[in-house]
Structure 1
Amino acid sequence: MSERPAHFEPTDDGAFLPTRFAQSHWGEDHLNGPAVVGLAARVLEREFGLDDFLPARLTVDLFKAARGVPTTAKTNLVRDGRRVRNSECELVQDGVTVARATLVQYRRAEAPRGEEWTASAEFDIPSHADPARSIHLGSDEKGWTQAIVDHQNTARKRTWTRSIQVVAGTENSPFVNAVAAAEGTSLVTNLGTAGVGYINGDLTVALSRLPVDEWVGVQADSHWVADGISVGTATLYDRAGAFGSGMVTAVSNPAAQIDFGNDPFPSRTH
């Protein structure tokens, strides 16, 4: 067993065995979002990534709750084009697909002539970030703290995250770090005064470049809700500025709502 925290341990037959660090707040045997989307990103990048191509968009559909059992991956290269590469991956548990991911890669190229509109973007990195912690949370109401419960409010929220290893024994790539952090789009958009009452069914991450180091910030941009359905978007940041976007759609799940003030597992990732 690896001494460093990791979501999965590799097995001799090519599967991935979830560790306690992959457990979710939603249930004792549920896996957290960063573990699932991080594994999909790692598999696709290792199988189909090329240095000349940027992993520009990853969409992960979460079909059902992934659990603490051996997980395998099925992959397929859909298109191997000169400028665009498309691939897909299914994460399978006990013969059932629990998540399906699609990756779009674009060949890096010289920018076109002229100038374009760019949104103004500001993100204040926590000045006293604890290097021993993997996540810091902030909101316009409370500033930066180390407890999710501090931000059960209606203010705009943000995270500053350094992801643990997705698979033990291998460092995360910048792409995997970006995807794992971007899953926090659900947290920064759906966390309210009574905790999180929506469970996301997907994640889309869109990148213009890769992060400059292992720390990634996620800041809420929009949150729209009606009839128990939520849509949230966020901007991704690193020490050099904004570099991508995250989007999640989610469905109301009040029967299992997570109130972090009453959470018996405060160290787990949402």
Structure 2
Amino acid sequence: MAAEDGGGQAYFLPMDDGRFMPTPHAGGAWNVAEQHVAPAIGLLVHAVEADHAARRADRLQVARLSCDIWGTMPIEPVGIDVAVLRPGRTIELVEARISHGGRPAIVLRAWLAQAYDSGGMAAVNFPSLPPPQAVPACDLSLLWPGGFIASVEVRREGQWPGRARCWARSPLALLEGRQVSAAARFMGLADIANGLAPLASPQEAAFPNLDLTAHFLRSPVGEWIGFDTSVSAGPTGIGLTHSILHDEGGAFGTLCQSLTIRPKD
């Protein structure tokens, strides 16, 4: 499966005025007329990395990505602005905002850090995942609507409501005609975690996430992103989706999403 050649199929198309046009593949799950935030987050990561590469030859690595979701976006052109909030030789804090009609929808802050040789103390104390081929295929579109969910291949081993081990990949390019990093491509899928192991069906309750924060131990590789996901909920409408992130080489980071839980009558 070609991960980034696109073949005319992508989540976003670059526009001549510097904006980006979402395709129907970016359609949301809570509302199919709105964008799913997953591809938009991937596009923000790509914008941060492209800005970094244009500014300096000594490349820093992604250590943390934190997104606050301010609002929704229709399937219409969006713009991205990038600013360096904390410049530095060995670390940087960079902010990227994606906006529609002048209104910010997602604000991403990325900590970038210099690489050092820490191989002598490298350790990963997370449980392993079975490989993608050992996990049953799952048609997530039976639970969730929208172009984004339909575009993603999912393998899922559900253990009980709120617990699942899954793998996901997409044959689509994030941005047509542009090469993107594995981190940007993986983060363009990561928000799917909230829908992999729900405590209730979307017909019973709405539980959109307010944010998404990923911490990295290393840069991911390959096509598949793995999720060891647990979903928890409190008694007053606040929940948490927590995932250990994997590629086929093992765990490479974690992901957290804060949920606002709204039971339906």
TM-score normalised by the shorter chain: which range applies?
0.7 to 0.9
Q: Once the two structures are superposed, what CA deviation does each residue of 1:121-144 show, in whole Å capped at 9, x if it has no partner?
A: 1201232688xx732131344xxx
SS in 2 for 1:39: helix
Asked if 2 retains the 8 angstrom alpha-carbon contact of 1:72 and 1:92, the reply is: yes
Task: Give the Å deviation of 1:187.
Answer: 1.9
What letter corresponds to residue 72 of structure 1 in structure 2? G
Name the counterpart of 1:217.
226
Task: Give the Å deviation of 1:221.
Answer: 4.0
Q: Unpaired segments of 5 or more residues in structure 2?
A: 1-5, 138-150
Q: Once the two structures are superposed, what CA deviation does each residue of 1:75-97 show, in whole Å capped at 9, x if it has no partner?
A: 10112212211110111101111
Asked if 1 retains the 8 angstrom alpha-carbon contact of 2:126 and 2:251, the reply is: no
Asked if 1 retains the 8 angstrom alpha-carbon contact of 2:199 and 2:231, the reply is: no
SS in 2 for 1:244: strand
Residues 238-257 of structure 1: pairs in structure 2 closer than 5 A: 238-255=247-264
Asked if 2 retains the 8 angstrom alpha-carbon contact of 1:159 and 1:184, the reply is: no
SS in 2 for 1:85: strand
- The structure-2 alpha-carbon separation of the partners of 1:200 and 1:115, relative to structure 1 and needing over 3 Å to count, comes to closer
Matched, 1:45 2:49: yes
SS in 1 for 2:46: helix
SS in 1 for 2:215: strand
- The structure-2 alpha-carbon separation of the partners of 1:124 and 1:115, relative to structure 1 and needing over 3 Å to count, comes to closer
Give the alignment partner of residue 99 of structure 1, picking from 106, 117, 126.
106
Q: Runs (4+) of structure 1 moved beyond 4 Å?
A: 112-116
SS in 1 for 2:18: coil
| TM-score, with length taken from structure 1 | 0.80
SS in 2 for 1:36: helix
Asked if 2 retains the 8 angstrom alpha-carbon contact of 1:44 and 1:88, the reply is: yes
Residues 77-96 of structure 1: pairs in structure 2 closer than 5 A: 77-96=84-103
Q: Distance in 2 between matches of 1:221 and 1:194?
A: 15
Name the counterpart of 1:233.
242
- The structure-2 alpha-carbon separation of the partners of 1:112 and 1:224, relative to structure 1 and needing over 3 Å to count, comes to farther
Q: Unpaired segments of 5 or more residues in structure 1?
A: 142-152, 258-270
Q: Once the two structures are superposed, what CA deviation does each residue of 1:179-201 show, in whole Å capped at 9, x if it has no partner?
A: 12321231235x13424630011
Asked if 2 retains the 8 angstrom alpha-carbon contact of 1:221 and 1:235, the reply is: no
Percent identity of the aligned residues? 22
Q: Once the two structures are superposed, what CA deviation does each residue of 1:1-46 show, in whole Å capped at 9, x if it has no partner?
A: x743211111110100111000012113211121121111111111
- The structure-2 alpha-carbon separation of the partners of 1:155 and 1:223, relative to structure 1 and needing over 3 Å to count, comes to closer
Instruction: Tell me the number of residue pairs that the alignment of Structure 1 and Structure 2 aligns.
Output: 240
Matched, 1:17 2:24: no
- The structure-2 alpha-carbon separation of the partners of 1:77 and 1:183, relative to structure 1 and needing over 3 Å to count, comes to same
Q: Distance in 1 between matches of 2:32 and 2:200?
A: 24
